[in-house]
Amino acid sequence: MSTQFESLSEKIQLKSIELLQRGSHLIEKVRKSKAYIAISDQRGDVPGWVLVVLMTTGLVTAIWTIAAPRLTAILKNSLDAMNGIR
């Protein structure tokens, strides 16, 4: 009876080793894949962020240049109206 358990134990150990080898092979395949490399890249998309910041700054400047006189008039009228409430 103990030989049956030893035989079963050896089979389990061999199967475990086989599964571990397969698993490590699959992990290596995943680590070499383009998707994994792209996801694990820590540098980020610096040129993209610079472009977003520059475009946002340009839009705000353009809108501010067009809207500044009107915004100034609205603010002045509001403050004058508040002074007239006293």
Domain spans of the chain?
1-42, 43-86
Q: What is the pLDDT of residues 38-84, one digit of tens each?
A: 777 666 667 778 899 999 999 999 999 999 999 999 999 998 888 87
Residue 2: is its pLDDT beyond 70?
Answer: no
The C-alpha atoms of residue 80 and residue 13 are separated, in whole angstroms, by: 88
Residues present in the chain in total: 86
DSSP state of 44: -
pLDDT, greater one: 12 or 54 = 54
DSSP state of 43: S
pLDDT, greater one: 55 or 31 = 55
The C-alpha atoms of residue 81 and residue 86 are separated, in whole angstroms, by: 10
pLDDT grade for 1, boundaries at 50, 70 and 90? low
